Amino acid sequence: MLIDVAAILVTSVALTGLTGVSGAPERPVSSVTGSRVLATADSTATATATASPELARVTGSTLATVTARVDADVLPTLRGRMLLDQLTLMTSRDIEAFLEGEPAAVAALLDNQPSARSVATWWSIAPRSAQARLLQSAPEVVGNLDGVPPSVRDSANRRHLSESIDRVESLLDGLGRTERAEASQQLHMLRQIEMAIVPSSSGPDRDLLSVDTEWPGRAAVVVGDLESADYVSYMVPGMFFTTDRLIVDWTVIAEDLNTEQTAWIDRLSATDPALLGATAATVAWIGYETPGILDITSLDLAEEGAKRIGSAVDGLEVTRAGDEPFITLNTHSYGSTATLMALADGSVEADALVIIGSPGGAAQSVDDLGMSSDSVFVGEAAWDPVVHTAFFGSDPGSDSFGASSMNVGAQRDPVTGQATAAAFGHLGYFDAGSTAMRNMALVSIDRGDLVTDDRGETPVPGRREGSVRASG
């Protein structure tokens, strides 16, 4: 059934569119054996500098320079944290040579990352000199590791994006017709990402949280300050959302939602102490390859999306340890299928979940998600051909699923008295000033009690208990 509506959705997308390093002090290398340097998993162990003439002299606990020759034959066989430890020891020239000569090993590292906690530990204990070398010579690695501080990732990813654009532009004139067309396509994608990270004239700053510069590309753009925001929302897209075509529009939508969130924070803070002085950040997340017309019936890309959104949220929670924000996953279409998969298998946790335009998912009920009915909201627009299909599993909009209904039709706001617009079709949920955006914003700032149901009423009485802001 889902394949029958694919042509409608493709046409709909085509016609309407969518609107400083602060590391640990310098430290000695873990272990050195002759000309082969292999760091242990516990990189805080102390070694003697006399084991290799290439290491700097250790004075007390401070090492002015930490570089060493690492066996080039060993590096491609290493994975995860072990490979990261070796990169920390290498010179800039050797890092660059490794990245250029072993792209498969680099791709494997980023596709199968160590846990965000392990990455955070690795980065925090790396010498400042090593951090600086990695930012300069391996920005694509540093910028895409969940667990590295968001501000560091933004600096690394901007550098990597700029270098990628320069590299592709320099190649164009020397390519044949087919290769030139492919390079031009890649360059267009990179330019779209570049456009997406430019702040609007009246909006907050934007950060490039992650970027894959190879076609078809991936990117996550943050609107607001991810390192300090009290409320963080991830926008998880569905089918036909490509970085090349929609990263700019998806970021505009994230800013529209952020504007709505900020307005509600300002409005409600007079009577809600939990919102006084609060801030929100919204992530336009195209962090996985979404399906197109040929693979729309497969769950393979949903499994990839589930893994990647889980890692992204873990990275946020680790870097904000002790000051965790309230996290909401706003999921659309196939993105809801991927997110439901991640929640059901325990690879991601969130404080609130919004599901719109969903073709179904693995979970049978909110209980399978480890969430309560008043923290999961489902919206279904009129004339949306995807909802109620349950193509990929249970229908989250069914009564048996146990989620709260979220109105996406026209209504008069019971709080402000203002009229809000209805969503129609599969892509109508994201219009600024719509009921859908109003309700998503309220869920995202932990005010689900003000979300309206299909009758325009607020079915969740009182304020939900356990608010991050209220309890913190």
CA 221 to chain CA centroid, Å, is 8
Q: What is the pLDDT of residue 23?
A: 46
Contact 290, 241 (CB under 8 A): yes
Residues in the chain: 472
Q: What is the pLDDT of residue 46?
A: 30
Q: How far is CA 279 from CA 229, 233, 236, 264, in A?
A: 5, 12, 21, 11
pLDDT digits (tens, 9 = 90+) for 231-286: 999 999 999 999 999 999 999 999 999 999 999 999 999 999 999 999 999 999 99
52 compared with 317, residue with greater pLDDT:
317
Amino acid present at 455: R
For the residues 6-20, what does the mean pLDDT come to? 50
Q: Which of 56-65, 118-127, 331-340 has the lowest mean pLDDT?
A: 56-65
CA distance 222 to 251: 8
Q: How far apart are CA 376 and CA 390, in angstroms?
A: 17
pLDDT digits (tens, 9 = 90+) for 393-447: 999 999 999 999 999 999 999 999 999 999 999 999 999 999 999 999 999 999 9
- Beta-bridged to residue 206, according to DSSP, are 223
* Count of other CB atoms within 10 angstroms of residue 9: 23
Cα atoms in the Cβ-side hemisphere of radius 13 Å centred on 353: 29
HEC string of 396-451 equals CCCHHHCCEECCCCCEECCCCCCEEECCECCCHHHCCCEHHHHHHHHHHCCCHHHC
Structural domains of the chain sorted by starting position, each given as residue range(s) with its CATH number in brackets: 32-142 (no CATH), 178-471 (3.40.50)
pTM of the predicted protein model: 0.87
Rounded to whole angstroms, how far apart are CA atoms 267 and 159? 39
